[in-house]
Amino acid sequence: MIPFFYQICAHYSQQALTKLVDANSELNDELKSNVANAKNCCRIMMRFLCGLKDMKNCELEINNFAGLILHMLTKLTQFRTFCLFNINTIGNECINRKIRSKTGELLENLIVTLIKIPKEIQVVHPLLSPQSHLTQYLHFSLTVLTFQQSQPHRLVWYSFQFLQAVVESNKFSTIRNDEKDIQSSDDIRNSVFNEEVCATLVKCLLSKYLIMSDEDLAMWEEEPENFVKDQELDSSETIKCAAEMLFTALLENFQSRLAPFIVQYTSAVLKETFGSFDKNKLLLRESCYNALGWGSYYLYDLIPFDEWYKSLLCKELEVRDTRYRVIRRRVCWLLGKWVEKIESEEIHKSVYGNIIILLQENDIVLRLSALLTLKPRMLRFTRFNSHSIGR
């Protein structure tokens, strides 16, 4: 039955692909039908595969299906990118009309439908091996995330989801029958997420996805309470939350490889941006503190907190320039993540004293952030009363 489903799926998918990238095709019922059939067939094939308990008898079709989806994703995203970012220079008016019409939306919807498939299959049946299509899907996802221009929200989100599924998978096998060719999960993950790939991902996350956006800054000004709420809740549907989850998953699974690099990279960025009030440098600096907060559990042994606090963190909190408030807020949040690492009672007092000072700021975001950081820690460390807390 699977070969039959695959043949139908391949037929409609190829029809949709051919029509969509044909500059002379117009948005009509036939094109809509081709795309709808391709989407439905791919969904049915995906659900059918995810429902199977034993996939040994259909390894060839699984491999072919994975290759088909990868081929379509590559061609469709290349075509979309070419059209969207060359629209002023393309001579073919048919393409211009297509992008301006709803065909562009049709194209994007098909891409999003396809990008869900490898993620769903990977979660249930992690059978995509380096000898098959896993490395190619990884390259595709990395290309989506590192592309300089904006990509569709759902395409980016599902790319993060796929990478996280691969990172966290504890079961892999190759599409082969010889038991000698079966690799361990660790071997496969380590070959896919080598040092170069991990370094590229971390740099991309810190510079593009863990960083505060212009929308975040605008909400800080206009709706400070909602800004704090959004930042604290970390909705799982947001790109930033997906990036944070992938970052922590990478650190958890590749701690020995990634932790030293993260410390080295963030230290270099913090040194480079020190003393600057340039907006971009401040946001990158804030992103580094964000990463160091999320990775605190895995970085404890590499960063001597007491020395770090006295030499840098406490000084960050003392800068009263309005432009620096994003750093002060993030450092306040970071202290909450690292508080259990503090061994010195003197440092404890200084940390809580600095957080209490933020409660007196005029900025609502700073006050709320300090309160959220302080409350659970004060309940935990009841030995410090209002008279023992000082700078």
The fold for domain 304-391 equals Leucine-rich Repeat Variant (1.25.10)
**Residue 383 gets which letter from DSSP?**
T
Give the residue carrying structure tokens 């996939």: 55
Residue 178: predicted pLDDT: 45
Tokens matching residue 167: 């990172």
CA atoms within 13 A on the CB side of 285: 24
Radius of gyration in angstroms for the set of CA atoms belonging to the chain, rounded to a whole number: 25
In 59-69, which positions are buried (b, 16+ CB within 10 angstroms) versus exposed (e)? bebbbbbbebb
Buried b (16+ CB within 10 A) or exposed e, 352-362: bbbbbebeebe
Token pair for residue 21?
A: 């990238």
- What is the per-residue pLDDT for 182? 46
Return the residue matching tokens 């003197």.
346
Could you count the other beta carbons within 10 Å of the beta carbon of residue 52? 14
Which residue matches tokens 């270099």?
268
Q: Residue 114 burial by CB count (10 A; 0-12/13-18/19+): exposed, middle or buried?
A: buried
Reading the chain (391 residues) residue by residue, the pLDDT tens digits are 566 767 777 787 788 777 776 655 566 777 778 788 888 888 887 777 777 666 666 667 777 777 888 888 888 887 777 666 554 444 455 555 554 455 667 777 888 888 888 777 777 766 554 456 777 888 888 888 887 666 778 888 888 988 888 888 765 544 444 444 445 566 777 777 888 888 999 999 999 999 999 999 999 999 999 999 888 776 667 889 999 999 999 999 999 989 999 999 999 999 999 999 999 999 999 999 999 999 999 999 999 998 999 999 999 999 999 999 999 999 999 998 988 777 788 888 898 899 999 999 999 999 999 998 887 665 455 444 544 444 4
Which distant-in-sequence residues (6+ apart) come within 8 Å of 91 by Cβ?
A: none
Report the amino acid identity of residue 303: I
Per-position DSSP letters for 169-213, written without gaps between them: ------S-S-GGG---HHHHHHHHS-HHHHHHHHHHIIIIISSPP
Q: Is 29 exposed, middle or buried (0-12, 13-18, 19+ CB in 10 A)?
A: exposed
In this structure, what token pair is assigned to residue 266?
A: 């963030």
- How many C-beta atoms surround the C-beta of residue 50 within 10 A? 13
Please report which helix (H) or strand (E) contains residue 228, including its range.
helix 224-233
* Distance (Å, whole) CA 55 – CA 100: 43
CA dihedral 335, 279, 146, 127 (to 10 degrees): 20
Distance CA 326, CA 369 (A): 11
d(CA 61, CA 233): 42
In sequence order, which residues have a C-beta less than 8 Å from that of residue 121 and are 6 or more positions away? 46, 49, 50, 62, 66, 127, 128
For residues 256 and 361, give the distance between their C-alpha atoms in angstroms, rounded to a whole number: 40
d(Cα 15, Cα 25) in Å, to the nearest integer?
12
3-state DSSP assignment of residue 325: helix
Query: How far is the C-alpha of 117 from the C-alpha of 123, rounded, in Å?
Result: 10
- Kindly list the domain boundaries of the chain, sorted by start residue: 2-192, 304-391
pTM: 0.83
Cα–Cα distance for residue pair 289/175, rounded to 1 Å: 42
* Structure tokens, 314: 């406490």
The stretches of 236-276 forming alpha helices (DSSP H) are 239-253, 255-273
| pLDDT for the residue numbered 171 | 58
Whether the CB-CB separation of 207 and 122 falls below 8 Å is answered with no
Q: What is the DSSP letter of 147?
A: -
